[in-house]
Chains A and B, each alone.
Chain A
């Protein structure tokens, strides 16, 4: 029954979505030179981590909190070997498995916080920019206040507050990161909305009788979210660092809940003086690589999407065959 009703709607809507996707993808395929290399290098590095995160149970030999296999305990702080390619740490954990599972934690937290902060930030920015007035003033003031705090400090405060309510899990970490990134989306969307609000097509929408919600949803939203993907990827890189910093300070995810690179770094701090390098180098390298990858994606996207930076490949012009029905 429901399927029958949905059928024609789907048929009419699909081409539009496909075209929308094309419009989004086409600037990427049209890139050239450095922008293209930056984007593709970033996508490759990030892709490796995404694969590791998704297939963590198969990529990693052991669980993130596993101390023994086949009834045999792992050695403590053993150097990299065939059995443990990245060695083991002071808690008997396999470092390689911790790094692989850590990528799952990192990406999951970042994804959750990004989605939450984009939804909240874009929605508030749209409301604030379009409705204006007192709401706009209050929100701008609030967001500027949030923005002026050092982001790590803010994350620490929220992690502290949230860990009491939600425990030290992934959700608490994601929410405390969400708070610090909302102002960025809010600002970007609010400012573009203020400009777009004055556009003729918005007045045209009013003149055909569209209500506030319709104008915001159909006329403003698609025209103000252009820069959100760029801000998003750049924030993702930043969020990896902040999450690791939280873990390093012991405020992030607790070791029983998930593997976390920042926490591992903190444990490794004492090992460095005794010449045990592998417990610190591999989680640290993972952080650096993933941050680099995401930053490259962000910069690459910025160069492809931002029209002031974008350089399109010049394509040879082919004229279509003449047709009879060319008018105006």
Chain B
């Protein structure tokens, strides 16, 4: 008897994302545009490598600005990656023209964040849900309406006759998102990129839409890329989660493992930020301080280090961290003390450039000695700040004080336990 094929075979790779980067050119001021100066670029996605297996649900999780939406859009060729390869079905789709991408569009579909904006207000539901079929000439005129009916039924917009000739403005948010889903599945796609599909919906509708997406996955054999900032829904929905920060994947692994044993300090912080319905179990919320940094000039070394509670020597400390420290300090002291200390320090805008070491020049009425005392006092005021772990030496150079930092470098994704994590701690 011939051996049956293994049911739990090695999962087939559907999409191979290989070192993909998307950089957006900054426009800059009108003067630099006139002079044609280089205005720098934003690294929305910076060297992401993910293999997506057929039938899998991958969650892309991160704060606003972490590049998760851009990565999702680049999978569909809606944004052209600056470098890297996206191999779908044995062919690289990076660099294909709109025309060459068109045949692929039946198999790669997208669900958008805002259902109120994703539907054309001037077309009826029947017209726009059936439009992919018309565009790709997949059905005759009469069949389109029937296929639309089937798709609407599948997403739970029944009785179909009530919705076919409605305009989007006649539908509720949840109904619109169902219509968007119907439009996405009508061509029978293999991959569905869902960009925060439930974040704009009412709480009561969210679970229904997620359940619908789970049902569709089973019945249509779909692969999902689920983009979200909501870890709770990712836990519910995803097989695998990739945590993104400033355009990079900092941790990726099976959902259960990530939630049970988060490795990266950023993942830990995100998990700590999930609201807990039990008021007695108040968890210590050491949320990352500050905001997500400017992606045009990301921090050196590990880009999370300025916000990281566990950062140490290797993480890539630099001048800007000293400025941030000064500003944090000044924000916490009384105004008189700030005035006094501000007089001591000269120009601190020089600390805006990336890299190290930091040289602080004293103000007009102070000396290098005063500066050194100030820096010592800063250290005395917050000795536990991770910043001091990265300081190698503080010395007076000429008229100012130079703060030298340890050499840091950029952590790469490395396997640790069942997950891959980009952190020097592992």
A19 touches B167 (CB 8 A): yes
Interface size on A, residues (CB 8 A): 27
Interface membership of A210, Cβ < 8 A = yes
Interface membership of B68, Cβ < 8 A = no
Kindly report which residue of chain A lies nearest to residue B108, judged by CB atoms. Answer: A207
Beyond A328-B172, A328-B178, is A208–B132 a contact (Cβ under 8 Å)?
yes
A199 touches B117 (CB 8 A): yes
Kindly report which residue of chain B lies nearest to residue A209, judged by CB atoms. Answer: B105
B165 touches A15 (CB 8 A): yes
Kindly report which residue of chain B lies nearest to residue A218, judged by CB atoms. Answer: B123
Interface membership of B84, Cβ < 8 A = no
A218–B156 alpha-carbon span in the complex (Å): 26
B78 touches A203 (CB 8 A): yes
A207 touches B110 (CB 8 A): yes
B165 touches A208 (CB 8 A): no
Interface membership of A201, Cβ < 8 A = yes
B145 touches A12 (CB 8 A): yes
Partner of A209 from B106, B120, B142, B158 at Cβ < 8 Å: B106
CB distance from B143 to the nearest CB of A (A): 12
Partner of B120 from A19, A223, A327 at Cβ < 8 Å: A223
Within 8 Å CB of B167, what residues of A? 19, 23
- Residues 138-153 of chain B: 1 if any A CB is under 8 Å from the residue's CB, otherwise 0? 0001100100000000
Partner of A328 from B122, B187, B205 at Cβ < 8 Å: B205
Within 8 Å CB of B132, what residues of A? 208-209
A324–B123 alpha-carbon span in the complex (Å): 28
Interface membership of A81, Cβ < 8 A = no
Within 8 Å CB of B178, what residues of A? 328
Kindly report which residue of chain B lies nearest to residue A212, judged by CB atoms. Answer: B98
Interface membership of A316, Cβ < 8 A = no
Interface membership of B405, Cβ < 8 A = no
Interface residues of chain A: helix, strand, loop or mixed (majority): helix
- Residues 202-223 of chain A: 1 if any B CB is under 8 Å from the residue's CB, otherwise 0? 0111111111001000110011
B110 touches A8 (CB 8 A): no
A208 touches B117 (CB 8 A): no
Interface membership of A16, Cβ < 8 A = yes
CB distance from B11 to the nearest CB of A (A): 26
A211–B135 alpha-carbon span in the complex (Å): 8
A207 touches B76 (CB 8 A): yes
A222–B124 alpha-carbon span in the complex (Å): 12
A239–B180 alpha-carbon span in the complex (Å): 45
CB distance from A278 to the nearest CB of B (A): 52
CB distance from B209 to the nearest CB of A (A): 8
A40–B112 alpha-carbon span in the complex (Å): 43
Complex A-B: 17 CB contacts under 8 Å = A8-B141, A9-B141, A12-B141, A16-B124, A16-B127, A201-B119, A203-B78, A204-B120, A208-B183, A209-B101, A209-B102, A210-B131, A218-B120, A218-B123, A219-B122, A328-B156, A328-B208
Extra pairs beyond A19-B165, A223-B121, A327-B158 (8, CB < 8 Å): A16-B124, A200-B113, A204-B119, A208-B183, A208-B187, A211-B98, A218-B122, A325-B159
Interface of B with A (CB < 8 Å)?
Answer: 76, 78, 98, 101-102, 105-106, 108-110, 112-114, 117-124, 127, 131-132, 135-136, 141-142, 145, 156, 158-159, 162, 165, 167, 172, 174-175, 178, 180, 183, 187, 205, 208
Interface of A with B (CB < 8 Å)?
Answer: 8-9, 12, 15-16, 19, 23, 199-201, 203-211, 214, 218-219, 222-223, 325, 327-328
